[in-house]
């Protein structure tokens, strides 16, 4: 079975986004600064506020966003996202989808768009092999290297569970071991196992996991279950050693969102809960589309 993958974060989205804004009379380009884009977004908000007879605002906020026409809303969301994570441009699929009425274009449309990208600036559609390389790099940078550093420390017990799988976490938490030294030794043993697992990771192994989980998902539709009381959406999860596939199926419009991401490590780089986490930028996430042929 063949698939194409669409990244959650892809700087090339900005190329299309700013082209779209320009085509719709909003005079900004890819070199725009956060301050400038905020200023423009606030001016849009205040135009909407004035139309509603309300006080103007000084900062980009949610209040009038739903009142904005789509092109202005696209820019507004870009400013809103950027402000919340100011060290990285919000070149996410959320922004990109705004160009197309908040829906990711079809694979055929994406191919056509990809053909318009200037040489050397990137692409829109990725293979599972390319995704595997990025996933391996993520694991190495954000799990393997920091874990190795933690293991070299005198005590590893504070803030280390994030490097482990759920099973490992549960094993450790249910362990009857008492005493700092014993628990620390147990954690070290587990951390060394995790490190060995990370060291053994290769793109080829990740590709195998990707194929297995996707095949598992697409072999039937019975496994996709309703959740919640309203019975509007169905979902399923397919875990593997290295990756995880989740699917959300909107029963009403029969739309299916299948996503692929690493099996662990979400927000693993975040030091404090309430700081910008850049999860969409750092954590590799892909929408997966099945190709018919």
Partner 1 sequence: MRRDDGTFLWGGLTAVVLIWIVISSGTRLCVSTPGTSGPSVLSLSDLSNLKMDNSTLNADFLNLTYWGSVSRAYGTSVVQIIPNTVIGFFNKSAEMRSWAFENIPSPPPWLSSGIVGFMEAQLAFLRVKALAAGNSTLAALIVKSYAASVVGYPVAALDYISMNGVTAIKTYLQTGNVIAAVCATYPSQLGALYAEAFNSSVPRERRAQYLGNALAVTTLMVVLAGKDGFAPKFQDALNRVGLANAWGTIKPYLSRIGSAVSVRASMLTFAILEKVAQRFPQDSTWATGLTADRIESMVEVLHDKGVTNDEIQNDITHVAQAASNSPAEDGAASVADAISYQDGGGITVRVKSQNRMVLYADENGRTQTISAEFLQNHVLGFDPEKASILQVHYKEAGVTVYHYYSGSSEEGVWTPTVPADVAKRGDVITISIDVLTMEDFTRQLPKLKFTNEYSASWVSDRSQVTEYTVSGGQLKIAFSESPLSNVESFEVDGINSVLGFDGKMTHLDFQVLDAFNQPREMRLVYKGYGDAQLRISSGGQNLEFSQVLLVSSDEIRLRFVENTGGFSTSVATIYVKDPSTLYALDDMHEGGLGSKIEAAYKGYYINQVNLQRQLEYDIVDHGGVYDVGRIGAEIAYTIAEEKLGLKNIILEEPSKGGTDLHTPGKTVVIQARMLTDPKTLTPDMLKGTIERQLGDLLNNLKQDKENNPLAQKGYAILSYLDPVTKIIRTIIVELHWP
Positions 86 through 115 that interact with partner 1 (CB under 8 A): 94, 97, 102
Cα 157 to Cα 183: distance, rounded to the nearest angstrom = 8
Helix, strand or coil for residue 274? coil
Minimum distance of partner 1 from residue 119's CB (angstroms): 31
Minimum distance of partner 1 from residue 62's CB (angstroms): 5
Minimum distance of partner 1 from residue 122's CB (angstroms): 22
Q: Which helix (H) or strand (E) holds 43?
A: helix 34-51
C-beta of 121 vs 225, nearer to partner 1: 225
Cα 33 to Cα 259: distance, rounded to the nearest angstrom = 31
Sequence-distant (6+) residues with CB within 8 A of 280 are: 8, 9, 90, 92, 94
Among the residue ranges 21-29, 122-130, 200-208, 275-283, the one whose residues contact partner 1 (CB under 8 A): 275-283
C-beta of 94 vs 126, nearer to partner 1: 94
C-beta of 59 vs 114, nearer to partner 1: 59
C-beta of 86 vs 109, nearer to partner 1: 86
Q: State both tokens at 117.
A: 């990208």
Cα 97 to Cα 94: distance, rounded to the nearest angstrom = 5
Cα 205 to Cα 186: distance, rounded to the nearest angstrom = 28
Interacting residues toward partner 1 by CB under 8 A: 57, 59-63, 65-66, 77, 80-81, 83-85, 94, 97, 102, 157-162, 169, 172-173, 225, 227-229, 232-233, 235, 237, 246, 248, 250, 255, 257, 259, 266-267, 271-277
């Amino acid at each position: 079975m063949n698939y194409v993958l669409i990244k959650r974060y892809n700087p090339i989205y900005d190329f299309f986004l700013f082209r779209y804004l320009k085509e719709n009379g909003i005079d900004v380009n890819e070199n725009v600064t956060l301050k400038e884009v905020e200023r423009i977004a606030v001016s849009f908000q205040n135009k909407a506020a004035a139309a509603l007879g309300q006080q103007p605002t000084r900062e980009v906020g949610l209040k009038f966003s739903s009142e904005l026409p789509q092109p202005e809303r696209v820019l507004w969301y870009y400013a809103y996202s950027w402000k919340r994570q100011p060290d990285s441009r919000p070149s996410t699929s959320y922004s990109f989808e705004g160009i197309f009425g908040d829906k990711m274009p079809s694979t055929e449309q994406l191919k056509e768009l990809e053909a318009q990208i200037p040489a050397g600036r990137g692409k829109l559609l990725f293979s599972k092999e390319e995704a595997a390389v990025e996933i391996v790099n993520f694991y190495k940078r954000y799990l393997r290297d920091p874990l190795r550093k933690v293991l070299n420390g005198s005590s590893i017990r504070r803030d280390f569970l994030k490097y482990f799988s759920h099973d490992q976490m549960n094993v450790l938490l249910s362990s009857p071991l008492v005493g700092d030294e014993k628990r620390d030794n147990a954690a070290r043993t587990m951390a060394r196992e995790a490190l060995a697992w990370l060291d053994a990771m290769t793109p080829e192994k990740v590709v195998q996991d990707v194929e297995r989980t996707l095949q598992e998902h697409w072999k039937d539709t019975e496994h996709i279950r309703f959740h919640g009381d309203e019975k509007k959406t169905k979902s399923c999860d397919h875990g593997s050693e290295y990756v995880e596939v989740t699917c959300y199926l909107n029963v009403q419009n029969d739309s299916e969102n299948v996503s692929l991401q690493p099996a662990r490590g979400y927000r693993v780089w975040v030091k404090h809960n309430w700081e910008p986490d850049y999860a969409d930028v750092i954590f590799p996430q892909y929408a997966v589309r099945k190709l018919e042929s």
